[in-house]
Homo-oligomer: A and B are copies of this chain.
Amino acid sequence: MRILITAGGTSEKIDDVRAITNHSSGKLGKAIAEAFSAEGATIDYITTKQALHPDNDEATIHLIESTADLAAKLNELMTAHRYTAVIHSMAVSDFTPESSVTIEDLQDTIAAKPDDLALALKEKVRERTEKKISSDTDHLVIVLKKNPKVIQQIKQLQPETILVGFKLLVDVPMIQLLDVAKASMEKNDADFILANDLAEISGEKHHGYLINRHHKVKEAQTKSEIAQLIKQEVLKLEEAK
């Protein structure tokens, strides 16, 4: 049994010294790796330098930074190996910085009434010579463009793998959380979604719902309970195949 786990949070460079990062401690990913390692699984583990990760004897660690790195690494690993399951717990940036300008530059650019404002701002930046953004302005404007959805690669590369996706919302009613999770399952062709709410995560306490394709919901209260639940449900589905 070979398992691919992604964990931690991506970071997208603004310039050479600044980045937009998605926060994730990596603790849950580590717990999931330990749960599968205890079953004798071979584990590939994609994460970042900042996140906690399992020991080297439990998993092969692949370090990445950005969403583009993640997409490339997933493609490489999923082309080389067949995975029983992919547990995609990494917090992935939806957007990546495209251009950074002062608010004065923004207003100048808009005054020229461009057809495509985002494109015009990219050109504005290209005219600039300094590598680090000047701090001689009261307001800085960063324009970000949408990243491709990395999770959608997974079933395209291996339709047979069991895909566990994650959905994190912030302080929403349970019904809304489950609805968003179901929509994410459809859109990404996932077999399970672990739905969780940041307002219900602190330390080892981690409230989560694991939803399957038949919309059955199982609940867990801690990171290790979530890890065990994911392991059990993945193994059960693999046996039933």
Contact = CB atoms under 8 A, between A and B. Distances in A.
Contacts of A106: 117
Contact of A17 (B117, B142, B168): B168
A187 to B, nearest CB: 12
Nearest to A24: B17
Given A117-B103, A139-B118, A16 B146 contact: no
A64 B107 CA distance: 35
A95 B144 CA distance: 17
B141 A146 contact: no
Contacts of A118: 103, 138-139
Give the number of copies in the complex.
Answer: 2
A198 B20 contact: no
Interface stretch (A39-47, A70-78, A129-137): A129-137
B95 A135 contact: yes
A190 interface: no
A173 to B, nearest CB: 13
Given A107-B117, A138-B145, A144-B141, A21 B16 contact: no
A110 interface: yes
A137 to B, nearest CB: 7
Given A17-B23, A21-B18, A140-B144, A94 B131 contact: no
Contacts of A23: 17-19
A19 to B, nearest CB: 6
List 3 tightest A-B contacts by C-beta distance, closest first.
A94-B135, A140-B144, A142-B142
30 contacts: A11-B21, A14-B20, A15-B170, A16-B170, A16-B198, A17-B22, A17-B23, A17-B170, A18-B20, A18-B22, A18-B23, A18-B93, A19-B20, A20-B20, A20-B21, A50-B50, A94-B135, A95-B135, A95-B140, A98-B139, A103-B117, A103-B143, A106-B117, A107-B117, A131-B170, A132-B170, A139-B145, A139-B146, A140-B144, A140-B146
